[in-house]
Amino acid sequence: MNPATVRRRGLAFVAVLALGYPLILSDYIRGLAADGLIAGIVVLSLVLITGFVGQISFCQYSFAALGAFTVGSLVGGHHWSFWLALPVGVLFAGVTGALVAIPALRLSGLFLTILTVAVALFFDRYVLAPGTWNSFSNGNANWDVGRPAFLGLHLTGSYAFYLFALGCFTLCALLVWNFRQGKTGRVLRAIRDAEVAAATLGINLTAWKLAAFGVSAALAGFAGAIGAASIGSVSRGSYDLVHSLGIAAIATVMGVGSVAAGAAGGLFYVFGPEILRHTPLSTQWFNLITGGLLIVQLIVTPDGLVPDFQQKLGHLLHHRQAGVGTAPDTVGAGPTAEAAAASEPKAATEAIPAVRRP
């Protein structure tokens, strides 16, 4: 089997599992799965900014809060339709992300990370503070958003909403995957690997960094808005620095260069504490376990668990073919190159195309 067939069958298997398995699960577990996929969208936003650009962000849930609050305020407070409020929230989060990135243009590495911590703390202490919250929400503890209807179907049922969350996640995963395969992924990774060289090739560093931060924040804002619909209401909890730190740690453990890690990370983020609840350990152990996993992962498989697993699975499935070793979904060795290497176009053997300038 060649890698493309393996990938196609793998995706088909995952699709059948994702659509079918929840049918035999309880409403409660379906709700958790939907929330896991929504958290997965936040992980995808980190894939873009950390996996591609190489910058760590500890304020993704602040952007999610912007999406959620916009939807909460417009739907709950001003009786907008959810579908009108959604793009407004996404846009608001995206623009804020790009604005936050402006000081970030002069910073990199650790300093930029600290800036994102500062943003998250600003949200914790000011935007999410009871005083600010009450002045926005007219004193209500939360905004009622309710569940929207999609193409005439009311998404109140647990399976219907799960499917909706799955669709949203798939859409975002496809976006990030297409970015990775195309110009966007190459340009951003080039900036990550050698910024000066990227600039001398003609890449506008400012524009691309702002765009990457903006789109990443917009994805997080999208997750926040969908999350508001999932809970049915928006309150000021669950968007603080600790959540952003947690999701960043999980994204790193799962493999921040991998699109599949989005689903794995999100589901782990939601089901991890849930599983702990049924053991003698309390859910408070979850962060400790994540931290321990992070240390082990950084030593054992620096690229993350999911790319490592994919690579091992790939080897297992076509170990007879020599020389096919690269992971199918890691940022470094993309299938573009594999596929291209397998199908070199005829033009290569012809002469170099004519020179453009005299």
Partner 1 sequence: MSLLDVDGISIHFGGVQALGGVSLEVHRGEIVGLIGPNGAGKTTFFNCVTGVLKPDSGSIRFDGHDLLPLPTHARAHLGISRTFQNLQLFGGMTVLENLMVAMDAFSHRGMLADAFRLPTARFEERRAQEHAWAILHFLGLKDRAGALAADLAVGHQRRLELGRALMSRPRLLLLDEPAAGLDNKETADLAGLLLRIRERFAVTMLLVDHDMALVMRVCDNIYVLDFGELLTSGTPSSVRQDPEVIRAYLGEGVA
Task: List contacts with partner 1 (CB under 8 A).
Answer: 175, 178-179, 181-187, 189-190, 192-194, 196-205, 211, 215, 326, 331-334, 336-338, 340-341, 344-345, 347-353, 355-358
- Alpha carbon distance 108, 85 (integer Å): 34
The H-assigned helical ranges of the chain are 3-20, 27-46, 60-71, 82-104, 109-122, 130-137, 158-181, 183-193, 195-200, 205-231, 241-254, 260-277, 285-300, 305-317, 335-342
In whole angstroms, give the CA distance from residue 75 to residue 305: 39
- Please give the C-alpha separations between residue 346 and each of 47, 113, 339, 350, 355, in angstroms, as whole numbers: 35, 46, 15, 7, 19
Helical residues (DSSP H) of 105-157, grouped into ranges: 109-122, 130-137
Write out the two tokens for 83.
């579908």
State in angstroms the smallest separation of the CB of 331 from partner 1: 7
Q: Please, what is the minimum distance in Å from the beta carbon of residue 268 to partner 1?
A: 25
For residue 207, the minimal CB distance to partner 1 (Å) is 9
Q: Compare residues 107 and 324 and give the one whose CB is closer to partner 1.
A: 324
Cβ 259 vs Cβ 176: under 8 Å:
yes
Helices 241-254, 27-46: crossing angle, 10 deg rounding: 80
Q: How far is the CB of 230 from partner 1 (least distance, A)?
A: 24
Nearer to partner 1, 8 or 277 (CB): 8
Closest CA to 190 of 351, 53, 339: 53
Nearer to partner 1, 174 or 275 (CB): 174
Query: Closest by alpha carbon to 326, among 7, 85, 31?
Result: 7
Give the E-state strand segments of 131-287 in sequence order: 143-144, 149-150, 153-154, 233-234
Report d(CA 155, CA 21) in Å as an integer. Answer: 19
CB of 174 to partner 1, least distance (A): 8
* Nearest-approach distance from CB 350 to partner 1, in angstroms: 7
Residue 38 contacts residue 60 (beta carbons within 8 Å): no
Of 36 and 97, which has the nearer Cβ to partner 1? 97
We find the least distance from the C-beta atom of residue 63 to partner 1, in angstroms, to be 17
In the bound state with partner 1, the residue whose beta carbon lies nearer, of 24 and 196, is 196
Residue 278 vs 357, nearer CB to partner 1: 357
Q: Between 185 and 246, name the residue whose CB sits nearer to partner 1.
A: 185
Least distance CB 3 / partner 1 (angstroms): 12
Closer CB to partner 1, 180 or 243, in the complex: 180
